[in-house]
């Protein structure tokens, strides 16, 4: 038996050695080292990465403060059966939790060592910022339309495969390009590549493959924001972070400096990586709650906000979304890098959502914004567990 166990161990070591050899021969050493060293992503990865700074606004905007924390605690308790809301947030690895109603902060608390000036990271909330920048670039004439073929801006893709000319900017925003995306295994997985690869531009231009017709199927795919980032760079003539700073970050009065994490080629991690304080992320939510208008200035076109956050009624829900779609009850949808829930024919909630439990949840009919940033989802069942709590709270919220 000892001999058998030894043989098994030696066999496993041989397999691991072969996998590592394959990885280092196939991919850049820095990429493989990151996968092995960092493993799963976490909310402190921004400390390990280069960054493009985002400067504070010359005219910082401060939300009104009229705390009514007990009311919020009671409402969340009634909506979701939480006996002690603060303890629930602490236990479930929350860093920041903010509730804003009618432009007034009702609840603002920080947990697990965080405070108001602690940096939290966006993960895929960055995709919603990217979508907003596409809308701004269209309004300024840098991009003609969401129906432009992506090869108008990235002709290298068409040189590699003429079928890329059939993919539009809209397809990227909708997560329905037909580009292959497989989360696993190991270094071959696209989740790992699009997060850890040292040159994300090169990855998106050279490694993407088309396996389906554009517009037919939803597939959450981190190559899409990378391609959109390169389109923004080429169309505007500046970096994505610079464009964000000038068109959104400064105009809406960010109080604190922020940053956008970069790869080693100084390209923004478009699929994630905006780092800021929770209260400044709240302002992005306020911007979209108010249809892109900021105290009288139209920062993001109103029609773009509407188009981005309302369901596409032309989509055949059962055919378009997979069986395990995150909101698989027929109410949920994904539109232009925002998630939404249709309440009835007139009303919907929508949200920016990031891995490990980062949320900017907006309920327009209640004039309500809920932010939650955390180290992980905690004991909640992934994103849908938190969203269910927000939805029930917004539903029962009495003004």
129 shares a domain with 74: yes
Q: What is the pTM of this model?
A: 0.95
31 shares a domain with 56: no
If one counts the domains in the chain, the total is 2
Crossing angle of the two packed helices 125-139 and 278-289, in degrees rounded to 10: 50
30 shares a domain with 142: no
326 shares a domain with 350: yes
What pLDDT sits at residue 23?
78
What pLDDT sits at residue 47?
96
Top pLDDT among 5 and 72 is at 72
User: Taking phi first (over 0 means left), then psi (-120 to 50 degrees means alpha), and beta for anything else, what does residue 250 get?
Assistant: alpha
Range of the domain at 10: 2-38
> Strand 348-354 relative to strand 338-342: parallel, antiparallel, unpaired?
antiparallel
Given a cut of 80, is residue 158 above it in pLDDT?
Answer: yes
Q: Which residues pair with 340 in a beta bridge?
A: 333, 350
155 shares a domain with 254: yes
Q: Which helix (H) or strand (E) holds 18?
A: helix 2-26
Given a cut of 90, is residue 187 above it in pLDDT?
Answer: no
106 shares a domain with 12: no
101 shares a domain with 32: no
What pLDDT sits at residue 327?
74
290 shares a domain with 200: yes
Q: Which of 275, 313, 250 is nearest to 49 (CA)?
A: 275
14 shares a domain with 54: no
81 shares a domain with 32: no
Taking the CB of residue 73, how many other CB atoms lie within 10 A of it?
18
287 shares a domain with 146: yes
Q: What is the CATH number of the domain that holds 209?
A: 3.40.710.10
Q: What is the pLDDT of residues 268-279, one digit of tens each?
A: 999 999 999 999
99 shares a domain with 30: no
> Strand 64-65 relative to strand 104-110: parallel, antiparallel, unpaired?
parallel
What pLDDT sits at residue 10?
65
Q: What is the pLDDT of residues 17-69, one digit of tens each?
A: 677 777 787 888 889 888 888 888 999 999 999 999 999 988 899 999 999 99
Confidence band for 183, pLDDT divided at 50, 70 and 90: confident
């Amino acid at each position: 038996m000892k001999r058998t166990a030894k043989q098994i161990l030696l066999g496993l070591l041989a397999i691991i050695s072969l996998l590592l050899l394959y990885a280092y021969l196939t991919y850049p050493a820095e990429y493989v080292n990151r996968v092995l060293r960092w493993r799963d992503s976490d909310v402190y990865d921004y400390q390990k990465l280069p960054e493009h700074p985002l400067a504070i606004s010359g005219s910082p905007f401060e939300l009104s403060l009229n705390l009514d924390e007990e009311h919020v605690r009671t409402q969340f308790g009634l909506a979701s059966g939480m006996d002690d809301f603060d303890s629930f947030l602490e236990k479930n690895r929350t860093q920041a939790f903010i509730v804003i109603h009618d432009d007034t902060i009702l609840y603002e608390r920080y947990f697990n060592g965080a405070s108001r000036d602690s940096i939290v990271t966006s993960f895929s909330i960055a995709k919603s910022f990217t979508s907003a920048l596409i809308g701004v670039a269209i309004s300024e004439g840098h991009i003609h339309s969401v129906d432009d073929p992506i090869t108008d801006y990235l002709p290298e893709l068409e040189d590699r495969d003429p079928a890329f000319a059939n993919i539009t900017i809209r397809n990227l925003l909708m997560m329905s390009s037909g580009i292959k995306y497989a989360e696993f295994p190991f270094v071959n997985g696209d989740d790992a590549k699009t997060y850890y690869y040292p040159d994300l531009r090169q990855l998106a231009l050279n490694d993407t493959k088309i396996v389906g017709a554009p517009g037919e199927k939803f597939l959450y795919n981190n190559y899409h924001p990378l391609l959109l980032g390169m389109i923004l760079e080429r169309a505007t003539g500046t970096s994505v972070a610079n464009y964000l700073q000038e068109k959104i970050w400064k105009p809406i009065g960010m109080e604190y400096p922020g940053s956008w994490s970069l790869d080693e080629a100084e390209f923004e991690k478009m699929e994630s990586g905006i780092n800021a304080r929770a209260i400044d992320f709240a302002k992005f939510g306020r911007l979209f709650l108010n249809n892109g208008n900021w105290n009288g200035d139209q920062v993001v076109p109103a029609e773009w906000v509407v188009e981005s956050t309302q369901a596409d009624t032309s989509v055949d829900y059962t055919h378009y979304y997979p069986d395990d779609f995150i909101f698989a009850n027929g109410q949920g949808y994904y539109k232009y890098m925002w998630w939404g829930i249709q309440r009835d024919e007139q009303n919907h909630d929508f949200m920016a959502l990031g891995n490990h439990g980062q949320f900017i949840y907006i309920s327009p009919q209640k004039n309500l914004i809920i932010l939650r940033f955390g180290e992980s989802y905690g004991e909640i069942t992934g994103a849908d567990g938190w969203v269910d709590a927000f939805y029930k709270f917004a539903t029962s919220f009495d003004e």
